[in-house]
Amino acid sequence: MQKPTSTRAAAARAVAAVLGGNSLDDALAKASAELPVSELPLLKAISYGVVREHALLSQLVVQMLEKPLRNEPELSALLACGLYQLRAMRVPPHAAVAETVAAVEILGKTWAKGLTNALLRRYQREREALDAALPPEPAIRLSYPDWLVATIKKDWPGGWRSTLAAGNEQAPLTLRVNRRRGTRNAYLEELAAAGIKATAVVEASDAVVLDEALPVEQIPGFEEGRVSVQDASAQLTADLLDAQPGMRVLDACAAPGGKTAHLLERDASLDVVAIDNQAVRVSRLRETMARLDLQALLLNADAAQPSTWWLGKPFDRILLDAPCSGTGVIRRHPDIKWLRRETDIPAMAGQQLRLLRALWPLLRPQGVLLYATCSILKAEGESIARAFIAENSDAKELVIEADWGEDCGLGRRIAPGGQFDGFYYARLIKIP
């Protein structure tokens, strides 16, 4: 009979899979299949933490090993899992060491049990000195790839360190209250009556942040469609698009459907077309619409090729929440740090510009296009908007005046941290 996999062994496999090129969501889904449901929170906590602090933890391992490990991705990941428990979790140290050593055998590395035990116990004894000996570079101390540190330093010269640090914070769980089903104030009162502490987000009129995250099935009103999970930065879309009753609206990269739904919760009279180029994502979009009992025309189509789906009727509003690096949501998806490559950014920026060029002819005169990315890189924000306006004489910035984020010359950007993910918005109006 096969010995059941321990949580630490499963976490090590998940971390190794991420560093091998898999997404953390996919790696955790595979690792979760080996564990009882009761162990999944611990699996997630260890895996997320180790991926978030990968560079720092790996450096600690290197400092303590006489010889570097060769071609041992799962063992290296397990050592990092052990160190993370000792550094950052409330797991009793003796349990962290014992369970991590036991996981060595499950991974088929029995020869490394003594090494693992010695390394973790040494860290317990010499933690202060070992931490102090870490190189001072932010790429190690804050655990980011060198290229991303350099890019954020250049793009955020006055706040690059806090921007990097914010990517290592635990992101809050933010809800969007469905206006068709009740008010935010009433929902806050309902949460308070249920003993759930929450705060309204001043800058986003439908947003509520929970003090402590809950599984969606435990969130009052979620199943009935009275609330949805959506970050405050993303909720700003509906205000910025400012769609008026009866307007024809295109959500060009719509899945999983949060922004489409928000628009229709605000005004069900909108004629909304929501498209995505992946069938599986359109299925998620359809599920979102069904849960919230909303109606829109949903298409599995490529926004960059309107000739294959557009019937010639112009739109009053277009939302382009463009595919990007996701560097503004690293605190939610720490694997982005290690899965993205510097060479990915020009390719993604080029795709964003192609989408803008393809969609602009679909906008009627005096119509508004809102360009958005969950990126904190200029190359996927201000630079794209500036290039597009330079080549289109009928495109003009409609300045965003707001209390959130900061003006960056063209459009507005939000640094990650607190109640907000990192985001960029530019509002363009088509002049006759």
- Neighbouring CB atoms inside 10 A of 38's CB total 8
CB 167 within 8 A of CB 330: yes
CA distance 247 to 418: 34
CB 24 within 8 A of CB 54: no
Nearest to 145 by CA among 51, 72, 67: 51
SS (H, E, C) 133-168: CCCCCHHHHCCCCHHHHHHHHHHCCCCHHHHHHHCC
Nearest to 170 by CA among 423, 1, 418, 429: 418
- Neighbouring CB atoms inside 10 A of 129's CB total 8
Catalytic (active site) residue 408: no
How many angstroms from the chain centroid is the CA of residue 396?
A: 30
- Enumerate the H helices of 7-112 as residue ranges: 7-19, 24-32, 40-52, 54-64, 73-88, 93-106
Q: What residues pair up with 423 in beta bridges, in sequence order?
A: 414
CA distances from 365 to 173, 314, 428 (A): 39, 9, 11
Give Cβ neighbours of residue 224 (< 8 Å, ≥ 6 apart).
Answer: 181
- Neighbouring CB atoms inside 10 A of 107's CB total 20
From the list 81, 253, 324, 374, the catalytic residue is 374
Q: Which residues are catalytic?
A: 374
